[in-house]
Amino acid sequence: MTKPTFGQTILRFNSIDSTMREANARAEAGASEGTVILAGEQTAGRGRLGRSWISAPDVGLYFSLILRPRVPSAQSVVLTLAMGLGVARGIGEACGRICDIRWPNDVLLNNKKCSGILVEMSGAGNQVDHVIVGVGVNVNQASMSPELSSIATSLRIETGCEYPLETILGAVLKHSERYYGMFLERGAAAITDAFARASSYVLGRAVVVENADSHIYGTTAGLEPSGVLRLRREDGVIEPILAGSVRPA
Residue 42 is predicted with a pLDDT of 86
Give domain status of residue 47, yes or no.
yes
CATH number of the domain residue 116 falls in:
3.30.930.10
Give domain status of residue 2, yes or no.
no
Q: What are phi and psi of 177, to 5 degrees?
A: -65, -40
Residues 241 and 125 in one domain: no
Residue 60 is predicted with a pLDDT of 94
Give domain status of residue 130, yes or no.
yes
Residues 190 and 207 in one domain: no
Residues 57 and 37 in one domain: yes
Give domain status of residue 4, yes or no.
no
98: domain range? 10-198
Residues 122 and 220 in one domain: no
The number of folded domains in the chain is 2
Q: Domain boundary residue among 178, 198, 218?
A: 198
As beta bridge partners, residue 72 has 127
Show pLDDT as tens, one digit a residue, over the chain (249 residues). 455 589 999 999 999 999 999 999 999 999 999 999 999 998 876 655 445 555 677 899 999 999 999 888 888 899 999 999 999 999 999 999 999 999 998 999 999 999 999 999 987 778 888 999 999 999 999 999 888 889 999 999 999 999 999 999 999 999 999 999 999 999 999 999 999 999 999 999 999 999 878 899 999 999 999 999 999 999 999 999 988 889 998
Residues 219 and 176 in one domain: no
CATH number of the domain residue 212 falls in:
2.30.30.100
Give domain status of residue 73, yes or no.
yes
Residues 242 and 125 in one domain: no
Residues 109 and 158 in one domain: yes
Residues 28 and 137 in one domain: yes
Burial class (CB in 10 A: 0-12, 13-18, 19+), 73: middle
pTM given for the model: 0.92
CA distances from 27 to 22, 113, 182 (A): 9, 29, 23
Query: Is 183 strand, coil or helix?
Result: helix
Residues 31 and 154 in one domain: yes
Residues 150 and 35 in one domain: yes
Residues 63 and 181 in one domain: yes
* CA separation for the pair 206, 243 (Å, rounded): 17
Contact 159, 95 (CB under 8 A): yes
Residues 145 and 44 in one domain: yes
Q: Domain boundary residue among 198, 218, 240?
A: 198
